[in-house]
Structure 1
Amino acid sequence: MSARRSARSAALLPTGQRTSFQAPTRAALAEATRQSRARPTSGSSPLRSRGIRNLARVGVFIVAAGMASVTALPAYAMMPTGTNPVASTVNAGQTFVDASAPATQTLDVDADAQVTALSATRDSYNSTDASVLQAQRDAEAAAAQAAADAVDAAARAVETASTPSGPRTFAPPQGGYSGEAVVAYAEQFVGVVPYGWGADPNDSFGCDGLTQYVYGQFGISLPRGVDHQAALATRITQDEAVAGDLVVWPGEHIGIYDGAGGVVHSPDFGRYVEHAHSLWGSPVFYRL
Structure 2
Amino acid sequence: MELALPQAAVVAKASAVPEKRGPGIRVPRFKKPTKKGAVSVVVMTFAAALVATMALPAYAFGGGGNFDNGVATDASLSGAQTLEVPDASAALAISRDNYKAPTTEELAAAREAAAAAVAATEAANRAADAAASTAAKGATATSGAFTVNPPSGSYSGAAIVAFAEQFVGVVPYGSGASPDTSFGCDGLTQYVFGAFGIYLPRTVSNQAAMGIPIAPEDAQAGDLMVYPIGHIGIYAGDGTMIDSPDWGRYVEHRPVWGSYYFVRIVA
Q: TM tier, shorter chain?
A: 0.3 to 0.5
The structure, 1 or 2, with the larger RCO (C-alpha pairs under 8 Å, 6+ apart) is: 2
> Which one has a bigger Cα radius of gyration?
1
